[in-house]
A and B are shown apart, each in its own frame.
Chain A
Amino acid sequence: EIVLTQSPTTMAASPGEKVTLTCRASSSVSYMHWYQQRSGTSPKLWIYETSKLASGVPNRFSGSGSGTSYSLTINSMETEDAATYYCQQGSSYHTFGAGTKLELK
């Protein structure tokens, strides 16, 4: 099973701050996908195939990476971005990272 390790577990960012979340895979994967989950709601696809923004996702978000190391970056933090972000791989069955909780400072 491919294990995904997300870091940090929790972080706080101020409005306007640049934020980078990372996801490391225990084995190489072809793509990484990211989901946003706000409190009390179901997850939403946020970034797919490493760097493609899902419909409606603001362009302050971006994704990058390859092999075993991937990241999600927010260029300028906004209030609405406070949520938990999960990475997920589908190269070998499907596994999720434990999530990064992003809070507003």
Chain B
Amino acid sequence: EVQLVESGGGLVKPGSSLKLSCVASGFTFSSYGMHWIRQAPKKGLEWIALIYYDSSNKYYADSVKGRFTISRDNSKNTLYLEMNSLRSEDTAMYYCAKSGYGYNYFDYWGQGVMVTVSS
């Protein structure tokens, strides 16, 4: 059974940093691209980052480019999202998601971790 478990969220002040983790199990983690997707309270879904299976390529949404960094450690079956210069508009539930075929869709999602940016 595929499982994705996020951690590392919390309440932080504007301008600060936070690092999220997502531990994967139930599939060969090193063979699949992985994504981070977020959802602001009562809002829709926003894709924010993709990393290829071997970390050879990384892509970001314009809203986080230059502030957020996606990375992975295939030896630990773990995906990361390092978030710097956090803003109030980054307040959201953050989901990690496994890529479906061709990196085009998301076939499994974690339960999400909440990040709140507030003074």
Q: Is the CB of B104 within 8 A of A43?
A: no
Closest to A54 in B: B107
Chain B nearest CB: distance from A1 CB in Å? 8
Residue A44 interfacial (CB < 8 Å): yes
Residue B45 interfacial (CB < 8 Å): yes
Query: Which one of B18-26, B72-80, B109-117 is at the interface?
Result: B109-117
Question: What does the 1/0 interface line of B96-108 toward A look like (CB < 8 Å)?
Answer: 0000101111111
**Chain A residues positioned under 8 Å from B108 (CB to CB):** 45
Complex: A66 Cα to B47 Cα, angstroms: 22
**Chain B residues positioned under 8 Å from A98 (CB to CB):** 44
Q: Is the CB of B44 within 8 A of A93?
A: no
Residue B50 interfacial (CB < 8 Å): yes
In the complex, how many residues of chain A place their beta carbon closer than 8 angstroms to a beta carbon of chain B? Answer: 21
Q: Is the CB of B104 within 8 A of A86?
A: no
Question: What does the 1/0 interface line of B20-45 toward A look like (CB < 8 Å)?
Answer: 00000000000000010000000011
Q: Is the CB of A45 within 8 A of B100?
A: yes
Residue A96 interfacial (CB < 8 Å): yes
Closest to A88 in B: B105
Q: Is the CB of A93 within 8 A of B59?
A: yes
**Chain A residues positioned under 8 Å from B54 (CB to CB):** none
**Chain B residues positioned under 8 Å from A48 (CB to CB):** 100, 105, 107
Chain B nearest CB: distance from A43 CB in Å? 6
Residue A63 interfacial (CB < 8 Å): no
List 15 A-B pairs, Cβ < 8 Å: A33-B105, A33-B106, A35-B106, A42-B95, A43-B95, A45-B100, A45-B106, A45-B108, A48-B107, A49-B104, A49-B105, A88-B45, A97-B44, A99-B44, A99-B45
Interface residues of B (CB under 8 A from A): 35, 44-47, 50, 59, 61, 95, 100, 102-112
Interface residues of A (CB under 8 A from B): 31, 33, 35, 42-45, 48-49, 54, 86, 88, 90-91, 93-99
